[in-house]
Structure 1
Amino acid sequence: MSALVLALPVAVPLLAAGVLAAYPGDRRMHRLITSAVSTGILALSAVLLAGSLDGTVRSLSMGGWPPGFAIVFAADALSALMLCVSAALVLAGLAYAAGTGDDASPRFAPLAMILSAGVYGAFLTADLFNLFVFVEVMLVPSYALLTMSGGRARTAAGRIYLTFSLLASTLLLAGVGLVYGVTGTVNLGELAGAARQGTAVALAGGVVLVALAAKAAVVPLHGWLPCTYPEAPPAVTVLFSGLLTKVGVYGIIRVYAVVHEGTGLRWTIMAAALLTMVVGVLGAVGERGMRSILTFHMVSQIGYILLGLALFTSAGLAAAVFFLVQYVLVKAALLMCAGAVETAYGTGRIDSLARREPLIASAFLVSALSLAGLPPRPRPTTWPSGSPSGSAS
């Protein structure tokens, strides 16, 4: 397989977004193109994942620049897995949007394609600066999707989201600049173990981790998430739940595993993980609407993932990634159930749900039990030979 395929998950959705924007009135064409693009990327990511389980890392340098400056894409087991899960979520989210009518706006499909391109690029990039670039590619369409339907509440949520995202992005860019200033590179392959070189590198990498923690809604940088996600249209919340904060979590795993190699910040990450777990649960207790509860609970589950990272053992990393994948899919299913009730009845309350909508209630129960880890459930195994710290250069 040619390494050029690594550019397709970014290039194809962007091209599709341009085509969709040129034909805003054809809703059927929008659904057909977005479904075809997402299905194709899902198939490609499955092939990449199958080929990376033995530790193979595919890489692609673009732009004609020398090593250290070229635009580098890389696919190892972790990035291919996240690409596969994200493509599946985008495909499911688009189908859900068609069912709820959230894709009625001619802007929905092109914005969803641009958002997905940014997410895929963030998972595949092999340098910190392009990680920042793809995070910014995600920012504009996510803000537009959040405020697309208008209304005072969504506009206010959009202001909170945009303000906090810009602050986090500024911090991320500053961190990337600091890393380059003290090491002379932002390529993750060349930064392997760089934090061991001195305090300056460790602190610069720490700034990047703090910025990514803000993107991932790690406590105490989580306040923006419960203020914004419940106000978005139901299908948009489904997309956001499995894409936006997960890029932040993925970035934390990647940067910590590569740059710090599990040293130095372990107890800091452990403390942040435990605090995030507790605050997220307590926040959910005080909410009443289904989407508000699930959104606050989303914060708590970020802590569970970081706990496995803080342990930094093969079993801990495998458990973190395993739970991340399950969490993306199951939380999306729960939010779909909540959105279906809200769309049908105009309320986020679940009173008498079993009597009114037994099918939705059953789906919600199965998803909730799966998230709680009740059997039967699969068990994570040790991480394949292409570990998170084995990023391509």
Structure 2
Amino acid sequence: MLTDRRILLILSGSVAAYKALELTRLLRKQGATVTAVLTAGGARFVTREALAGITGQRVHDDLWAAEAEIGHIRLARWPELVVVAPASADLLAKMAQGLADDLASTILLATRAPLLVAPAMNPAMWDHPATRANMALLAARGVATVGPGTGAMAEPESGPGRLAEPEEILAAITALLAPAARPLAGRHALVTSGPTHEPIDPVRYIANRSSGKQGHAIAAALAALGARVTLVSGPVAQPDPPGVTVVRIETAREMLAACEGALPADIAVMAAAVADWRVAREAGQKLKKEPGAEAPSLMMTLNPDILATLSHHAQRPGLVVGFAAETEKVVEHAIAKRRRKGCDWIVANDVSGTVMGGDANTVHLITAAGVEDWPELPKGAVAERLAARIAAALA
């Protein structure tokens, strides 16, 4: 897919730099030629020897090396794509301001190749107005971005700023260098993600622990393969996937209306953890706890079944994929759910542990042909694998 494509990979200072080694391995596996440039900060986390061993090329790290002469210009002219992964806040600021005080920043200023950056930094640094302004400036100049993701950091903090997974960066590179490899171009994909919030009164609601990480990753993976994606999302803290139309909702009824409003679609992936029930009558005022009074009884009613509705809709998508979050008899319950709902595939996962809100997932793909047991993977990798299966099914 990337045979003989020339990629210059710049690694700046981040504890996530180790992921660049796996990215390089994936690129080499696709047939790409990768040359690495290591900043002084990047060298704190990844060695020249490790990079040289994986790339099979000399690693460049010194603007003033005696043998370099005008090597930075040659390096700037050589690649078809320059990828900065990880891209630190410092290097992004240099790019935005046109500074050139080391080999990496000089190449970035001198190159005429397209640029792809994968930011990685502390959440406070990512949210700082200076970083936001720098990213907006780079985007206006046509610099492509992948990530960052949201999750736990090296510090005891969590939030947006995690380096995108190698599979996600690979998909972004493929989209830029091999547009013919975008098998879902011209297709419309509908994806749901996150929880729904079902109000009890003006301040309370029924919800679940879904973070939206898996659904958002699926939307991004389908977009990377060329699909036009509509993401219907419940309340989540995930950043919007780039290039995806996001429709935000609160309740299951709103999600169903948004899904029907997005039709027609070629693909529907119902990854949201929709609340099965809501209170039959929402209180107009906050329910008060009175001294000595019993706890209020909540009469429940069923929410609409979005997966079953789309599976039998007059504008039914050509491929309908459901999700089954189970805590026992995972595969058995998912097989029964696929038949009951009328969808084509079910992605089943055991959510009795830390899957909801976590960064990894172990899933089983249930189709009419049988059951595929997938190994534990980062949620981004699950999304890439599922998107690839969808593309193959629609080919």
User: With structure 2 as the length reference, what TM-score do the two structures score?
Assistant: 0.31
Q: Report which of the two has the higher share of helix.
A: 1
Q: Report which of the two has the higher share of strand.
A: 2
Task: Give 1 or 2 for the bigger CA radius of gyration.
Answer: 2
User: With structure 1 as the length reference, what TM-score do the two structures score?
Assistant: 0.31
